[in-house]
Chain A
Amino acid sequence: MFSNYFKLAVKVLGRRPSFTAISLFGISFTLMILILLAAFLDAELGEEQPLGNRDELVFVDRITMKLEVPDTTWQVDSTLVNGQMTYDSTEIITTSNRSFSSAMLSYSFADRHLRDVAGAKDYSIYSPTFNYDLFINGNKLTFDAVYSDERFWDIYNFEFLQGRPFRKQEVEGQAQVVVLTQKATKQYFGTDEDVLGKFMEIDNKRFELIGIVKELSNSKGFLSGQAYLPITTANPVVLNNDSFQGPFEVVFLAGSARGKEDIRQDLDRKARQIVMPNPEQYNVLELQSSDFLSRYAFSVFPRRDGPDSSQRMLFIVFGGLLLLFVLLPTLNLINLNVSRIMERSTEIGVRKAFGAHSNNILLQLVFENIVLTFLGGAIGLLLALGALYLVNDSNILPNTTLRFNVSVFLYSLLICLVFGIISGLLPAWRMSRIQIVNAIKQNQL
């Protein structure tokens, strides 16, 4: 049956080439853009290295200190009642923020207060904020340096091309060892062969190269370092700073998705319990925690209410835009399909007259439309591959390589199917319910 439908569909498409071309143009471009979008999202939010544990991570990257004081307002309403002035006074007590300070964490704070958080299987303290200008033969290289402990490598599963991460003894012994990304290795040493064990100078210290990791394919600020160094080799002033704020963040690994909630609750509880050193300066402390998605959302739409609010915002904005974007080509296709299907009223009338059920007609017409969408999808896929190549080649998105992989392909298939069904359903439904007499009678339109 479907092979018959297929033959018929191909015939019908050939009958009015200009209409088919218009439909295909719309379908293929829509799908091309959707495929590009899927590839982009996959690169940004997918489980690429080093984010294999993406769904189990909780970040604490901001500590906010506030001075909240009760703010009393006297409000007096005067009204004239029977020639007499009456006064109605209200006292409104609110809290007002006198001062506010928000920054990343200091090492001593993280070390003292965030070591045993309920629900966390593992944690790591690191600082992604340092960068150093290095000069090689008069060329400047700006390296973002990440100072981390050894647990960093367990939580983030970097793919090592050569060598190894640094270990606990090395962190404790302040060993001057460094892990570089592949590109950074090539930039600094000119090659990435036989470079393990060579030395490089960062921050006036000589570091031995012990590992090379694969380039990161994401644009997330907290993981975009080129050089990874043991936390103990960082500037001692920074490490020993005993105020609450500094350049560090903490990542926790939860055993499960539920564990994430436990961790975040425990962090809130801890934040309330911490005694402020001088309450006349700041008397309230908040720890801003986020999971991977809300942290990403926060970097795109920073909101004062925190990452969860950003995530809602991201979903609303993104979902709204996507909906509008898909809606328009769909409506357009429905419009075209309605016109085009009317032409075939005679054929359908005859089929119905010979006993075809409405559902059969519906299935046939939707199937034809799916054939059309998949044809458009194939063209769209080719266009998307070309566009991916162009985007990567032109380096429009620095630090991001869009890839076409299995999940993107599956997404595209799904998108095609949904698009085909939606745009074919309404015209087909209308046609399948057409009265036989009207359908067979010519010029009744």
Chain B
Amino acid sequence: MNRHILRLLWNKKRSNFLMFLEIFFAFVILFAVFTIVTRFVRMYSTPIGFDTEQIWAAHFNFDNLPYASDTTAVLDMKERLKAEVAALPEVESVSAIGFVSPLANGRWQTVNDDNGFEMMTTLHWVDKDFRETMNLQMVQGRWFEEGDDQGRYQPVIISKKLYDMHFKDRNIKDSIYTIQGENRIIGIVENYKYSGDFTEELPATFLYQPPGSMDISNLVLRIAPGTPPAFEERLNQTIADVTKTSDFTIEHLKTTRAVKARQVWLPMAALLAICLFLVINVAMGLFGVLWYNISKRRGEIGLRRTLGATRGEITRQFILEIMLVSLAGIGVAAAFAVQLPLLNVMDVEAINYYIAMLMAAGLILALVFICALYPSRQAAQIHPAVALHEE
């Protein structure tokens, strides 16, 4: 039976080739789009690790202060800034942090192999109030406390991601590792995906920034729920009075997070919409072509029915025919597609490709099956006498 079908397919190779080509390209497109979507969905599935709802961030450019050359004045201003902002009743908690601010575009990373293995981590300079303000979750150990900069080794807190990559199942509390100088690890936090929802979580290390540090360039604030929007003007005025500049911006992390996420999901939605249309297009085309081809083969069907083939067998024959052509198309395309993870052409985890491949193949086969079902059923309904009479 199967060899018979193969011969039939071979005899009509010209028209089947077009079908093959269509399936081939449909697979390629779906594979590409599903890889992108899988990658972002998997990124999205790790929690961001901090609150954004009532959190505002103020970004400064302290290089341009009119008194920038007077270091004591700048240091004094930075200490007063945090205290005066914290004194506002609407501000529940405030933290002064270094150059890298959550959901902003900055990044600071370091790679070294001083510990005997290559370790990459992003660096975040934060103060003792950062955990409380951002609501970070500790897995182990403790957060920074005042006076933590006094010890022999600078304390650091690492993210669980970094722990899992290099220290899995080891007790590293109070161990000394070389990260940014020699550091004592005092705690582990759950997640810190600071670049946004649709980004890969990078291993993170928090370093302690004592109050009044020269490197403070951002504030993050937790605003009390129910604070009227007009408060922002007062906050703006308070900051401007302390810093004597208006060269700073206040952003709402909730908005920034939504904007950043939208930059990803909007093109993704557009891609999926285009894919959906392509799939519908291909399905309708297949349906039309199959319908037409099968109706052209009434004579053959009549003959088989007369010779004792059941309706089920006729249906099976047609479905099998078209499924084989599709499988050939998918197989050839998959052989190309599998080169991407094998040769590691792009910096994408291999699992994303395999998931995408399975999804694309599954969708196409399901679609082809559905499109073939109705015309094949119709063909099986043909009465042998009628079909042969036409002949």
The answer to whether B232 and A335 have CB atoms under 8 Å apart is no
* A331 interfacial contact with B, CB 8 Å: yes
| Interchain CB contact under 8 A, B281 and A142 | no
Do residues B247 and A203 form an inter-chain contact, with CB atoms below 8 A?
yes
Contact B246 A328 (CB under 8 A): no
Are A26 and B233 touching (Cβ within 8 A)? no
Interface string of B276-288 (1 = CB under 8 A from A): 0110111011011
B32 proximity list for chain A (CB < 8 A): 321, 324
Known interface pairs A22-B285, A133-B250, A335-B289; A138-B18 also in contact (CB < 8 Å): no
B388 to chain A, nearest CB (A): 13
The answer to the question of A238 belonging to the interface, with a C-beta cut-off of 8 Å to chain B, is yes
User: Is the Cβ of A331 less than 8 Å from the Cβ of B247?
Assistant: no
- Contact A325 B292, beta carbon cutoff 8 Å: no
Let me know if B19 and A325 touch, CB within 8 A.
no
Rounded to whole angstroms, the CA-CA distance of A19 and B293 in the bound complex is: 13
What total of chain B residues lie within 8 Å of the partner, measured CB to CB? 43
CA distance A202 to B246 in the complex (A): 8
CB neighbours of B281 from chain A (8 A): 25-26, 29-30, 328-329, 332
Contact indicator B233/A22 (Cβ below 8 Å): no
The majority secondary structure among interface residues of chain B is: helix
Whether the Cβ atoms of B266 and A325 lie closer than 8 Å is no
B307 within 8 A of A: no
Complex contact B288–A237 (CB within 8 A): no
Contact B68 A133 (CB under 8 A): no
Stretch at the interface among B23-31, B90-98, B184-192: B23-31
B66 within 8 A of A: yes
Asked whether B285 lies within 8 Å of A133 as measured between CB atoms, the reply is no
A318 within 8 A of B: no
Instruction: Kindly state the interface size class of chain A when it binds its partner.
Output: 35 or more
Residue interface mask A340-351, B partner, CB < 8 A = 1: 101000000000
Q: Does A130 contact B (CB under 8 A)?
A: yes
Question: Is A396 interfacial (CB-CB < 8 Å)?
Answer: yes
Nearest-CB distance from B360 to chain A (Å)? 13
B288 contacts A22, CB within 8 Å?
yes
Query: Taking CB as reference atom, which chain B residue is nearest A142?
Result: B249
Interface residues of A in 333-370 (CB under 8 A from B): 333-336, 338-340, 342
How far apart are A395's CB and chain B's nearest CB, in angstroms?
Answer: 11
B321 in the interface (beta carbon within 8 A): no
Q: Does B236 contact A (CB under 8 A)?
A: yes
For chain A residues 196-246, which have a beta carbon within 8 Å of chain B? 202-204, 235-238, 241
| A132 in contact (CB, < 8 A) | yes
Contact between B266 and A338 (Cβ–Cβ < 8 Å)?
no
> Chain A residue with minimal CB distance to B274?
A33
Residues in chain A within 8 A of chain B (CB atoms): 18-19, 22, 25-26, 29-30, 33, 130-133, 135, 138-140, 142, 202-204, 235-238, 241, 321, 324-325, 327-329, 331-336, 338-340, 342, 396, 443, 445
Residues of B within 8 A of A (CB): 15, 18-19, 21-22, 25-26, 28-29, 32, 63-66, 68, 229-230, 232-233, 236, 240, 245-247, 249-250, 266, 274, 277-278, 280-282, 284-285, 287-289, 292-293, 296, 299, 391
Nearest 9 A-B pairs (CB), nearest first? A332-B285, A138-B230, A135-B233, A339-B292, A237-B64, A331-B22, A26-B281, A22-B284, A22-B288
